[in-house]
Amino acid sequence: MGLLSQGTPLDWADAVPHAESIRADGLTQVINVFKSASARKNDPRLWGDEIEGVLVNLDEQGKAARLGLRAGRVLDKLMAEEEDIKATGRTPVALWRPEYGRYMLECTPGSPYGPHVKDLLQVEPNMVARREMISGHLRPNERLLTITTFPRLGALAAPVSSLAEGAVDPGPQMAPEAEVAPFTEPWHPQHGDAAHSLFAPDELINTHPRFRTLTANIRQRRGAKVCVAVPVFRDTNTPWPFRDGPYPVTPHPVDGAPPADLPAGQIYMDSMCFGMGNCCLQTTFQASCIAEARRLYDQMIPLTPVLMAVSAAAPIWRGYLADIDCRWNQISASVDDRTRRERGLEPYPADGPAGYVIGKSRYGSVDSYLEASSDRFNDLPLVMNEPARERLEAAGVPAPIARHLAHLFIRDPLVLYRELLVQDNAHSTDHFENIQSTNWQTMRFKPPPLAPLTPPSIVPSVAASAMPSPTGEGPSSGEAIAAPVVNLPPPTVDAPKQDQQETEEDYCLEGPLGWRVEFRSLEVQFTEFENAAFAVFTALLARLIVEGVRCPTTGTTRHVDFRMPITLVDENLERAHRRGAVLTEKFHFRRDSIVDGDDGGSQAATSEDVRASPEDVAAARDLLEEQSAGRIVAETIIPLIRQYLDAAGGLAPEQRATLDRYLDLVAGRASGRYQTNAAWIRDFVRAHPAYKQDSHVSDEINFDLMRAISAISSPSHAADYPTPADLAAGLPALNTERLWGSLPRPVAAARFAPLSDPE
């Protein structure tokens, strides 16, 4: 892939002996961060998005769409361009980075967006520019699709078996003749030593050894390969009771078969690719100081499930329509490295050392709030690394943050490099980031990295700055941005011109990183318009949270408070996965999200008291009511955001109209006026003439679906679908009106209607 190796990743057996010292060093590093950065103030409220996508090959002859395994080659070219641009002292429009799958790419803006409302108008043009940037490097039949799951990843060649009427369920079956249908280009039918998957060859994994090591080490730490199962969608002809399989046989005697107790009615998956091989949309916000970051984090937590449901885009798994619409729980299961003892399935031996019993995978929902006044909502028992908590508190780290970090530090580091075991704890945050970046939660609290010992005049090379962390997330990309980069001219982004007053402000888009929080639950959408709408929505939500909203009648500023017992946020996340959750589910949410003045924060809890009292929980529950996503998003939050925008002012009518259109999209998705990507995909499949109402998404259906998404997402591929022949064959029309109403194609609008200044 052209990336330099950072070192030799250690196999699990070699990594285990180092875990404790890495944790100890990581703790020292994060304590040093708190010592050096707790007093930081007035950092600009910069922010940015991350979009993940997959390469898809359209095979017109074979009528099949396959994952293209060329992402590394494409990335090499994009990063060479990045290096060229940086060498001339300019900032690239976008940064492209590797991701878990060999077919995946991640992109972010070349530098973060500025803090002003008008900077929100840069988002969609930047996203459009990214698609243009990559299009020059793709082959004629290759597409970059921003889809959450690739529908036929791991699908069987001869699917849909069922149990005979009245037969006893024999459990999962394996058959020598069972095969996985080719779903990559080129196809690699062999099984792999890293994942041991029945369905997903190791060739799906990014070629950098760290990703393979991560896969193998999770499996080895767990003591078995991972198990992902989702309920199948029962359509009118779905064989019932549904028994997925029979599955192909693998050469891994210990670990080859699916669990014998896998219930009927489930789609079974067995490797990291079924989770980490999916795509999402994330947004990261810098707060002006640590207190603001804590507030932002806490207030955003309750919105993570609801917004996931509104962005739902994942209705097909391993070639079947599923009874769920979202990806989160599958990713959790795909990297669940807990042992049977940690999962509470087996006791620790009475005569040996006790260990943790841990409720969730290291990819999970947030377990605790961070503000002291949030303690009364922390009703989930936190499993903590007690010595770590003591060290953190002794060093002056605020108790709720110490508990949060001590909870992260119950996990082992998964990928270690032999050459990088010893770090300078005063200048590196690598070991901390190793733990942090493999605790994947719905929100992430991102402390500033320690300043590396890089001379200020040296800009890190592209190769170094592009080094993925063990997971493709975290420290390396952050560090590259954190390294002092001075005197760069403004980004060469094709962005609307800002007025004088704004461009002269003294914030630096590439300054050292401050305290940030990341919103991580959103599913990625087909188009730049939709991705921009969701990203901008979270940015406006952030502003609403930190600034409050001026009441038009009284002129006083009022603040929002969305907090609720954290166990109910978890319950909401479960509900958010369900098919059509925006239409059919209700979510726990505050009856009234506006607070005037002091909201009666709880007495400072002692550090031992990590659980809200029953009285606290009862009082907090009294504030809540079960509500639809439409009521929460369209009727509560968006009106507040509009008030915020009204009060902020400073936008030309067409600029405000652009933002209003984003809000309309999110409101329409939440209330069911528009379809989620998931609902749209499901309808497309069910309306396809080759669909047999049996939940099975064939190669042919998938091919047409991928062509349709390609046509929707990129104006230059509008001819992909539907062709006159498609329509003659009775294939469904594009029906984009259901996605966002009758306005013209948003992608084209973003490109061809440049925004003008208010004056």
Query: Which range in 9-17, 107-115, 127-135, 298-306 contacts ligand ADP by CB under 6 A?
Result: 107-115
Of the residues 25, 30, 33, 47, which one makes contact with ligand ADP according to CB under 6 A: 47
Residues 251-290 touching ligand ADP, rule: CB under 6 A, are 282, 284-286
Residue type, 208: H
Query: Which range in 313-321, 469-477, 530-538, 661-669 contacts ligand ADP by CB under 6 A?
Result: 469-477
Q: Write down the least CB distance from residue 513 to ligand ADP, Å.
A: 5
By CB under 6 A, tell whether 448 contacts ligand ADP. Answer: no
Contacts of 367 (CB under 8 A, 6+ apart): 360, 380, 382, 404, 407, 441, 566
By CB under 6 A, tell whether 477 contacts ligand ADP. Answer: yes
Q: How many residues would you count in the chain?
A: 759
Longest dimension (CA), the chain: 77
The count of C-alpha atoms lying within 13 angstroms of the C-alpha of 41, restricted to the half-sphere facing its C-beta, is 1
Contacts of 390 (CB under 8 A, 6+ apart): none
Strands in 270-328 per DSSP E: 281-286, 316-317, 320-321
By CB under 6 A, tell whether 303 contacts ligand ADP. Answer: no
- Which of ligand ADP, Mg ion, none does residue 25 bind (CB under 5 to 8 Å by kind)? none
Q: Write down the least CB distance from residue 478 to Mg ion, Å.
A: 9
By CB under 5 A, tell whether 315 contacts Mg ion. Answer: no
Parallel, antiparallel or unpaired: strands 516-519 and 47-59? unpaired
Residue type, 229: A
Helix axis angle, 566-577 to 303-310, nearest 10°: 10
Parallel, antiparallel or unpaired: strands 281-286 and 320-321? unpaired
Q: What angle do CA 290, 293, 299 make, to 5 degrees?
A: 145
By CB under 5 A, tell whether 523 contacts Mg ion. Answer: no
φ and ψ at residue 262, rounded to 5 degrees: -60, 120
Contacts of 535 (CB under 8 A, 6+ apart): 49, 123, 281, 283
By CB under 5 A, tell whether 50 contacts Mg ion. Answer: yes
Element (H, E) at 482: helix 475-482
By CB under 6 A, tell whether 481 contacts ligand ADP. Answer: yes
By CB under 6 A, tell whether 109 contacts ligand ADP. Answer: yes
Of 31 and 287, the one with the shorter C-beta distance to ligand ADP is 287
- Which of Mg ion, ligand ADP, none does residue 513 bind (CB under 5 to 8 Å by kind)? ligand ADP
Q: Write down the least CB distance from residue 479 to Mg ion, Å.
A: 12
By CB under 5 A, tell whether 106 contacts Mg ion. Answer: yes
Of the residues 6, 215, 250, 282, which one makes contact with Mg ion according to CB under 5 A: 282
By CB under 6 A, tell whether 46 contacts ligand ADP. Answer: yes
Query: Which range in 104-112, 121-129, 304-312, 415-423 contacts Mg ion by CB under 5 A?
Result: 104-112
Residues 496-525 touching ligand ADP, rule: CB under 6 A, are 513, 516, 518
Of 222 and 520, the one with the shorter C-beta distance to ligand ADP is 520
| One character per residue 448-487, x = contact with Mg ion (rule: CB under 5 A) | ------------------------xx--------------
**Per-residue three-class SS string for 510-531:** CCCCCCEEEECCCECCCCHHHH
Q: Write down the least CB distance from residue 275 to ligand ADP, Å.
A: 16
In the numeric block, which tokens belong to residue 391?
């060290």
Strand partners, 63: none
CA distance 320 to 229: 12
CA distance 81 to 85: 6
By CB under 6 A, tell whether 460 contacts ligand ADP. Answer: no
Picking from 260, 112, 82, 238, the residue whose alpha carbon sits closest to that of residue 174 is 260
- Which of ligand ADP, Mg ion, none does residue 620 bind (CB under 5 to 8 Å by kind)? none
By CB under 6 A, tell whether 478 contacts ligand ADP. Answer: yes
- Which of ligand ADP, Mg ion, none does residue 278 bind (CB under 5 to 8 Å by kind)? none
By CB under 6 A, name the binding residues for ligand ADP. Answer: 46-50, 108-109, 112, 282, 284-286, 473-474, 477-478, 481, 513, 516, 518
By CB under 5 A, name the binding residues for Mg ion. Answer: 50, 106, 282, 472-473
